[in-house]
Structure 1
Amino acid sequence: MDLLTRAEIDVLAEPGGGEARVSLFMPTHRFGRGIEADRLGWKNLVDGVEAVLAQQMRRPDVEALLAPARDLQDDGMAWQYMSDGLAMFLRPGWERTFRVPAPTPALATAGDHFVLGPMLRLLSGDEHFLLLALSQREIRLMEGSRNSVEQVHLGDIPTSLTEVVEPHEPRSDTMARPSAGAGRAGPAVFYGHGAGDENLSSTEVVRFLRSVSAGLHDLLNGATSPMVLVGLEHLVWAYREVNSYPNLLEEVVDRNPDQLTPEEVHEMAWPLIEKRLREQRSRVIDRFRELHGTGRVSGDLTTIAQAATEGRVETLFVQADPWCWERVDDATLPIVQLGSDARYAECEQVDAAAIATLKNSGHVYATSESVVADSEVAAIFRY
């Protein structure tokens, strides 16, 4: 299960070419009795989309398309390591699955393209962030939201100094368990230069951190979420010298992460992220209001959708909490045939506008307040 980046969005947004594409979303529990209920809910969701597809496709083709979803349904161990939400995208011979550190609605769609709207919390960067815990013993990358953080599998990226300065020893590729955080306020510590630890070989440390940065450059290709560093001052200073990720915050958590649980890291980092996101969102909304009457802004969905496909949308605001897909229908288990259900036509249009904006290097903000009254969206145009 992967970290969602704009590079992944480009893949998911590719035209379907007439082949069937299925998008599956469901809220999940990290622990407790809800886990078995999640498995049953997933089965019902897959059964529902299977019934829709069976009216259009041969049964063997339907079964082959949904096989990864059925495999997950039967994988009891996988359900022990879920996050707050689950998303799966299927096309013939291909699938992508994401554990989502934010709730998603229960929704299945079938059509000639994927739906990404229920994951806009991640795509917009609203309340979504990255943590990089720096120590010589262990590098940990986590992605988080307001309430939790979850460790990201780093693949071949070195996670300890010994992997770079000593002969490589195979390490486990087992997925780390997700952890929840309380999201309460913690100390905000600001970055400053200082002397390094004289007991360390600076050459070896820099080589190690450069390898980490190079690996993260590939892993985070296209990611736009803010990143907070957690570590002692000398390692933070050294990492900044080799960092290539453009959205690194100046503020850091100045603690040895080896001594911190994921919950403690989240508690200390979240106030830094919350302050950054609140200030950034307020500045952009103020700019929208300043441009009112200039022709550079709009709250009309049709106009915005067209401008997005032309690459003219610089910033898109999407009303959230709840999202369009979550409030259209109060059905227990919505199964949507794309392009043929008028109740969801507006949601499809919002979804398409957001994807086009992201693909054209625009910014998407999820906001609980309406920037324009009675409109799902608002936009600032490049021209």
Structure 2
Amino acid sequence: MDLLNRSDIQSLAASEADGIHVSLMLPTHRFGSGIQADQLQWKNLVQGAESVLLQEMRRPDVEALLAPARELLNNNLPWQYMSDGLAMFLTPAGSQMVRIPASLPTLAAVGEHFVTGPLMRLLSGDAHFLLLAISQGSVRLMDGSRHPVRQIELDDVPTSLADVVEPSGRSDSMARSLTAGRGGRAVFYGHGVGADEAKKDDVIRFFREVEAGLREVLAGQTAPLVLVGLEQNVSAYRELNTYAEVLDEAVLRSPDELSVDELHQVAWPLVEGRLRADRTRLISRFHDLQGTGGQVSSDVDAVSDAAEQGRVETLFIRSDPWCWERVEDGGDPPVVRLGTDDRFAVCEEVESAARHTLAYGGMVHATSQEVVADSELAAILRY
């Protein structure tokens, strides 16, 4: 699981699996010498979690619980394909690993629930975006942030016209023309009667199937989506699109000639303006509501209580750095037994507020000190 949506995060946050819950998080590097440092840091996190777990569990049970984390440590291949943040969630019933295009705190947490607050920055639209590079010969979906994008596997989505249109089944005068698709299948178009209309119909059919497949992939997503492609392809796809967050602006050029990094370079300026405007609008609303009789708050206890009661409409939590990272721990990565360490009590309150806000249909925005400089969180209340 990599392309997280609100439902995925809410399921993790509300996990009722039996037994202890372990959350492991790490900011990661996409390439370079930082990859080896990431693996070493992951090893330290796993060992830290193990030391906490051994205080209340038998060693064989601890080893079984942490086995997926150790398997990842000992497999070099996945570390070559990381994004900006890595998280793994483990219970005796199973585990889930996610890579996200946004930085996470370095953290190992053991408790009766998962730590999911840092993942919620993906829901606000101010941390990441989606990019769809579309042509008749290639379809690529990517997610990313200010940093380079990462391609998402599309197992059940056709990624070229040749995946949808078979070369047989038409007369010679209506033979099709397109460069080879996946698997090297070459398809040719002739100039007979009706060939242009037939090709147009095939392209529309292809884009319709792409849209249908992406509808399932993007279900529950709220991030802005940038289209990259030739004008005729973008226009045709836009007519069929059902994803609500597609930007009106698009990059109108062939994506086939662009690398992943180049796609990020041409798309980011469009996304950055949208994200900045959304963030500014929300922060301005918070400040406009100050002094209106309790409709906003930056008191941690008050916001936490309001979240439990379902009264938080929008929650802002600090993320630069995360609360978990600001607690002095002798230079070692934080290893926390939830509910027992007073140093992290405020962090747990922030986590609880985020979890309850999400459960009651509110929005969680990971931001810096732009809202209230001296508080871990702030909220716009429903009432």
Q: TM-score, normalised by structure 2?
A: 0.87
Runs ≥4 in structure 1, deviation > 4 angstroms?
197-200
Residue correspondence of structure 1 range 117-128 to structure 2 within 5 A: 117-128=117-128
Tell me what 1:264 maps to: 262
Tell me what 1:219 maps to: 217
1:247 matches 2:220: no
CA deviation map 1:202-225 (0-9, x unaligned)? 322222222222222222221111
Of stretches 78-87 and 363-372 in structure 1, the one that deviates more from structure 2 is: 363-372
Tell me what 2:347 maps to: 347
Tell me what 1:275 maps to: 273
Tell me what 2:191 maps to: none
1:142–1:152: 8 Å Cα contact kept in structure 2? yes
Counterpart residue identity of residue 305, structure 2 = Q
Counterpart residue identity of residue 22, structure 1 = V
State, as a whole percentage, how many aligned pairs show the same letter: 58
In 2: Cα distance, 1:311 partner to 1:210 partner: 40
1:25–1:118: 8 Å Cα contact kept in structure 2? no
Residue correspondence of structure 1 range 16-31 to structure 2 within 5 A: 16=16, 19-31=19-31
1:127–1:273: 8 Å Cα contact kept in structure 2? no
Counterpart residue identity of residue 58, structure 2 = R
Tell me what 1:51 maps to: 51
2:29–2:82: 8 Å Cα contact kept in structure 1? yes
Residue correspondence of structure 1 range 148-297 to structure 2 within 5 A: 148-166=148-166, 201-294=199-292, 295-297=294-296
Of stretches 281-290 and 337-346 in structure 1, the one that deviates more from structure 2 is: 281-290
Residue correspondence of structure 1 range 137-156 to structure 2 within 5 A: 137-156=137-156
Change (3 A) 1:206 1:382: farther
Counterpart residue identity of residue 289, structure 1 = H
Aligned length: 357
Please state how far the C-alpha of 1:359 moved relative to its aligned partner: 3.1
1:323 matches 2:338: no
Please state how far the C-alpha of 1:101 moved relative to its aligned partner: 1.8
In 2: Cα distance, 1:328 partner to 1:156 partner: 44
In 2: Cα distance, 1:104 partner to 1:200 partner: 50
Of stretches 152-161 and 349-358 in structure 1, the one that deviates more from structure 2 is: 349-358
In 2: Cα distance, 1:206 partner to 1:361 partner: 37
Please state how far the C-alpha of 1:113 moved relative to its aligned partner: 0.5
1:382 matches 2:382: yes
CA deviation map 1:52-87 (0-9, x unaligned)? 111111222111111111111111211222222211
User: Where does the alignment leave 5 or more consecutive residues of structure 1 unmatched?
Assistant: 173-196
Please state how far the C-alpha of 1:200 moved relative to its aligned partner: 7.1
Please state how far the C-alpha of 1:373 moved relative to its aligned partner: 4.2
Of stretches 115-124 and 54-63 in structure 1, the one that deviates more from structure 2 is: 115-124
1:370–1:376: 8 Å Cα contact kept in structure 2? no
Counterpart residue identity of residue 8, structure 1 = D
Tell me what 1:302 maps to: 301
Please state how far the C-alpha of 1:281 moved relative to its aligned partner: 1.1
Of stretches 121-130 and 257-266 in structure 1, the one that deviates more from structure 2 is: 121-130
Q: Match of 1:340, SS?
A: coil
Counterpart residue identity of residue 213, structure 1 = E
1:122–1:128: 8 Å Cα contact kept in structure 2? yes
In 2: Cα distance, 1:306 partner to 1:363 partner: 16
Q: Match of 1:87, SS?
A: strand
Change (3 A) 1:203 1:357: farther
1:20–1:110: 8 Å Cα contact kept in structure 2? yes
In 1: Cα distance, 2:202 partner to 2:325 partner: 51
Change (3 A) 1:66 1:239: same
2:35–2:80: 8 Å Cα contact kept in structure 1? yes
In 1: Cα distance, 2:256 partner to 2:150 partner: 16
Q: Match of 1:38, SS?
A: helix
CA deviation map 1:273-292 (0-9, x unaligned)? 11111111111111112222
Please state how far the C-alpha of 1:344 moved relative to its aligned partner: 1.0
Q: Match of 1:67, SS?
A: helix
In 2: Cα distance, 1:289 partner to 1:333 partner: 35
2:17–2:91: 8 Å Cα contact kept in structure 1? no
Of stretches 269-278 and 26-35 in structure 1, the one that deviates more from structure 2 is: 26-35
CA deviation map 1:94-140 (0-9, x unaligned)? 11111222222221001011102333432332231110111111111
Tell me what 1:363 maps to: 363
Please state how far the C-alpha of 1:354 moved relative to its aligned partner: 1.8
Counterpart residue identity of residue 252, structure 1 = A
